[in-house]
Structure 1
């Protein structure tokens, strides 16, 4: 006998595939977009962050927006104590695909464009070392998730990925970027912007 998935399971699988939860889906498309965008800006602690950013950092802040969307989706889809196995597999595929299309070029832009120019002008920064270490943690989790997309992905790994992604982005928006804007000389800041855009574009961002 075939057992049909429950309505709640179907909703969670749909959400894992990129949908929105029921409370947002009842709103108009414009209301949903505004609600999600505001939630993301508030989560960074700066509702007008992109509007006030140095132009060199805007591509990275745009990438942060997409990263926070994923973090929010993971948190909502994994709210159950024991998420459905189909939900976990779909979420793992979603996270891996997002890493390849968005996070990998984003990390490259930071590691090859932003961080070196900041360190060349400001000297070694513990914060940048910490952020590089977090990038490596994300890469290790992605390798784990790649191996588990057809088996049983770890709910702990998915939750940890989403939580660190939120905190990592918040740290860059609220701490790293203000340091860049306040302390990197204007010409060097413009040079960083060129390097960031080149790397994002070269990797399909």
Structure 2
């Protein structure tokens, strides 16, 4: 009896320590929706890019500068929708768990996530304006993977493996620039959906039980 009580006490202490040091309000549903947003964005971007790719010279053509504002707009819409979805579902989950959404772990998680992501985003804009579009997709995947790995120390550890998957896909994409949009859609779309489904059934439902 005493052993069982000791085990339960250790479990309670562990849960309390995780709540105070890690951001645990992430939702698998938000990851699935982000993946769907990315696939929709890739579809729209394909329609914008296709006419330019038909011009001789492909990636070096100045025609890319003319579509740069449209590509940036699509990327911003996907980003804003994704961020809004994360915040909404995370806040709702935090409320269900009866703890504050705005806390130290949340600040650390978002800071470590957005710092490399912001640098990567600015770098991608510079590449797009300069016409160096062939390496934008791998750069986005690589910086995003680094952002996930960086943030995984302050939230669910399995996000580390999602980050590694994005890094691997980014490296593959670097060797096949002509397939950039396809690999981008797989990285930001398909991987998010697969991870969201895994997280929902293997982490969220298990924790709730």
Relative to the length of structure 2, the TM-score reads 0.39
Relative to the length of structure 1, the TM-score reads 0.40
Larger radius of gyration: 2
Q: Answer 1 or 2: which has greater helix percent.
A: 2
